[in-house]
Structure 1
Amino acid sequence: MTNERTLKRPEVLAPAGTLEKLKTAIHYGADAVYIGGNAYGLRSRAGNFTKEDMIEGVAFANEHGAKVYVAANMVTHEGNQEGAGDFFREIRDVGISAVIVSDPALIEICATEAPGLPIHLSTQASATNYETLEFWKNEGLERVVLAREVSMDEVAEIRKNTDVEIEAFIHGAMCISYSGRCTLSNHMSMRDANRGGCSQSCRWKYELYDMPFGAERTSLTDKGEVEEEFSMSAVDMAMIQHIPELIQNGVDSFKIEGRMKSIHYVSTVANVYKKAVDTYMEDPENYECKQEWIDELWKVAQRELSTGFYYHVPTDEEQLFGERRKIPQYKFIGEVMAYDAETKVATIRQRNHFSVGDEIEFYGPGFNHFHQTVEVMYNEEDESIDRAPNPMMILTMPVVEPVAVGDMIRKKK
């Protein structure tokens, strides 16, 4: 492994379920985003992009030196591939940087009918060794998203034996099934997880019952204070404390999960990993993970956090059941629409209820943060109000430090 490879700056790749999230992710430091088109993806409930959305998103990304990838990673059944050639040509022609695919049929269609559109192998294809990466390289693919079951030692071995670009998940939800190939949703809710309809049945709460014929069912467990005794739900991944190992082992793209997450989540996580990567690249020898970065990620954490399969096979400690650890939770309450430097007044679009007297936190790109108490605020008629209860309402308030358009506001629940 050469020093050049060791010191190559990785791409921070963020999820973008909507055009708003795409712009937010790039504004907060993402080098690239991945989106879903209106077909062939695995997130049918995400705000998938129309052709017009893609054109606008690609233009915005180009202005900021970023890339846009499209996930087309569904498993096709007979007939599902119809129209795929037209789809791939369309996204190629609007300037998409690459398409992420798992199904060999779609890969073949893309390669033959949309030449010039780079293809990345999806994590759903379960690439876990360098021979597999070399196979896909020979098929014309330039990047492989590793299976989430790959260990850090295996990442190092893969890098030593292939020059294919490596993309790896470093933050977000973990699927309980191998590489996301699940049929539980099909059985529980008649929704095909491998064709974009996952109902996240693994996240449901389960119980064990006695169900005698013709009688009421009764629980066979005494739950007491325990929230869950049976679980298929995995904790989330966070590799913020292991940035050096990921870079030194040649990971080219740091992938953040969450196309259905909020702009609060996307902005926070992209901001943190951008800061961590930049800090390491500036001075690798003296790099240290800062506690404030870890604390920041916990502000948007929905579940406990772990390192997935990177350092050991997950145990019951990486499952969600029993008594939960308490997680500090914040809610996203607004975003800055304008700022008057002379009056030190910010114009804010409300996203969640907050009131005079609340302590709130402003944050922006580059890890700029400050706290203040809401002393006074005004509605669009310039009337003093004591609370902001209406979603998306516009209000103004004085701020104690300068802010910028696109800065976010949150408060602790």
Structure 2
Amino acid sequence: MTTRTNQNKPELLMPAGDLQKLKTAVRYGADAVYLGTEDFGLRAHAGNFSLEDLCAAREITREAGVAIYLTLNASLRPGEFVALEQLLEKLKPLELDAYIVADPGVLTTIRKVDPQRAIHISTQANSCNPQAAEFWRLAGANRLNLARELTLEDIRAFAEQTEMELECFVHGAMCVAHSGRCLISAALNERSANRGDCSQPCRWNYQLTEQTRPTEPMNVEEDFRGTYFFNSRDLCLIEQLPDLIAAGVHSFKVEGRMKSLYYVATAARIYRDAIDRLWDDPTDIDPLWREELEKVSHRPYDTGFLLGTDDAKVHPADTHYVRTHDFVGFVRRDENGLWVEGRNRFLLGDELELIGPQMKQEKFTAANIRTLAGKELQAGNPNYQLRMLLPDWADDGDLIRRKRPEKK
């Protein structure tokens, strides 16, 4: 482990696919959130934010002391810059903390319309060396997201040779393409990943066909599960955080603007606890962190390219997620007290678990389930609004999960 090169505790940067996920990220420990508008980001099918939503998001984050970064990292075409300038003019009064960009033309436009705004360089820029960082710094950027293909040694060298803030992904989905710049989706069904409309063909099951026998597909591998050429594992660097802190990374970013509330809450609470504890003691790695991250829906975890190993990053078994737990309810509060918004079915007598910020969690039994009007229920179901017995410390924004029965 090298000597720590930056003196500030690294930032926890969480995804916010919509306003409720933003509130969850803030409550569960994010230092900053990143989100997109309905244009010029790379998640066309995330909830995304209208201008009105952005105003609300700005108020929430300002009150909580949390930074807000807006993604403008799509690759633009010539006819789109007028609309970009119009959007930037509307955004100026919100005083967002930074814009995330990849296109030099977008950066130049921001410098013209809103010259005081901080600019962060997206992973889409494929920044693999300190020389690239210097190019972006001279162009006016403040921070750079490191290419996911870099090793720990590469990151150490980066930090020693650049004056820019460095950000890296530590958790979430990975892409088969170099830093996410993929053409497969556009080639197969005319949906461009580089313009926010990826159809994720890397997750599909592929077969081989011979031209004169198109109705007789063959598996390329002799495996009953199918053939998944491009299906990347998910990234999880929770155990490598001490090395990344020591290397000089300023911000740890979690992927997942299209992921669930449960994912956002779980990832935020774990990485918040890990950053805080490891900052004080780099040896204080808690096995509970990895155990908890295994309880969110994910593909098999991997350390990506960080350790410089030659292990396959593709998961050939199938494209399905590992799911050991279901998110079954979201705790709300009104003038009459706490109630639960149902998200998945659970039954009277089921063993459930409540989770909250600061690593709070407690198992309890589903009991006294009632409608808001007081009618007894035998189960909670999606979209049900109900009251039930909860642990004493339960509060607005806590989540309820249930372990899935083991398959026989």
When normalised by structure 1's length, the TM-score is 0.92
Change in Cα spacing, 1:203 to 1:91, as seen in structure 2 (3 Å) is same
SS at match of 2:109: helix
Partner of 2:331: 336
Change in Cα spacing, 1:314 to 1:47, as seen in structure 2 (3 Å) is farther
Q: Does the 8 Å contact 2:150/2:306 carry over to 1?
A: yes
C-alpha distance in structure 2 between counterparts of 1:337 and 1:323, whole Å: 37
Partner of 2:379: 387
Partner of 1:396: 387
Amino acid of the residue matched to residue 113 of structure 2? E
Partner of 2:367: 375
Matched, 1:320 2:318: no
Which of 273, 276, 288 is the equivalent residue of 1:275? Answer: 273
C-alpha distance in structure 2 between counterparts of 1:40 and 1:397, whole Å: 43
- CA-CA distance at 1:384 after TM superposition: 1.2
C-alpha distance in structure 1 between counterparts of 2:319 and 2:104, whole Å: 41
C-alpha distance in structure 2 between counterparts of 1:85 and 1:201, whole Å: 33
Matched, 1:92 2:92: yes
Q: Does the 8 Å contact 2:102/2:124 carry over to 1?
A: yes
Partner of 2:397: 406
Q: Does the 8 Å contact 1:171/1:255 carry over to 2?
A: yes
C-alpha distance in structure 1 between counterparts of 2:322 and 2:63, whole Å: 38
Amino acid of the residue matched to residue 41 of structure 2? G
Partner of 1:298: 294
Per-residue CA shift, 1:196-234, capped at 9, x if unaligned?
Answer: 111111111111234526xx6113349776313342111
Per-residue CA shift, 1:233-276, capped at 9, x if unaligned?
Answer: 11010000011111111100100001000110001001100000
C-alpha distance in structure 1 between counterparts of 2:311 and 2:221, whole Å: 22
Q: Does the 8 Å contact 2:208/2:220 carry over to 1?
A: no
SS at match of 1:385: coil
Structure 1 regions of 5+ residues with no counterpart? none
SS at match of 2:68: strand
Partner of 1:261: 259
Amino acid of the residue matched to residue 281 of structure 2? D
C-alpha distance in structure 2 between counterparts of 1:366 and 1:38, whole Å: 33
- CA-CA distance at 1:302 after TM superposition: 1.7
Matched, 1:136 2:127: no
C-alpha distance in structure 2 between counterparts of 1:80 and 1:110, whole Å: 14
Which deviates more, 363-372 or 323-332?
323-332
Q: Does the 8 Å contact 2:24/2:261 carry over to 1?
A: yes
Change in Cα spacing, 1:117 to 1:323, as seen in structure 2 (3 Å) is closer
Per-residue CA shift, 1:148-198, capped at 9, x if unaligned?
Answer: 111110110011111200011110000110111111101111111111111
Partner of 1:350: 342
Per-residue CA shift, 1:60-93, capped at 9, x if unaligned?
Answer: 0011110110011111122122221222232232
C-alpha distance in structure 1 between counterparts of 2:226 and 2:26, whole Å: 38
- CA-CA distance at 1:5 after TM superposition: 3.1
C-alpha distance in structure 2 between counterparts of 1:339 and 1:367, whole Å: 24
SS at match of 1:153: helix
Q: Does the 8 Å contact 2:207/2:227 carry over to 1?
A: yes
Q: Does the 8 Å contact 2:156/2:247 carry over to 1?
A: yes
Partner of 1:108: 108
Partner of 1:205: 205
Question: Where in structure 1 do 4 or more consecutive aligned residues deviate above 6 Å?
Answer: 1-4, 323-326
Structure 2 regions of 5+ residues with no counterpart? none
Aligned length: 404
Partner of 1:238: 236
SS at match of 2:78: coil
Q: Does the 8 Å contact 1:335/1:348 carry over to 2?
A: yes
Amino acid of the residue matched to residue 348 of structure 1? V
Q: Does the 8 Å contact 2:4/2:247 carry over to 1?
A: no
Partner of 2:52: 52
Change in Cα spacing, 1:209 to 1:171, as seen in structure 2 (3 Å) is same
- CA-CA distance at 1:288 after TM superposition: 2.2
User: What is the RMSD of the two structures over their aligned residues, measured on CA atoms?
Assistant: 2.3
Matched, 1:362 2:334: no
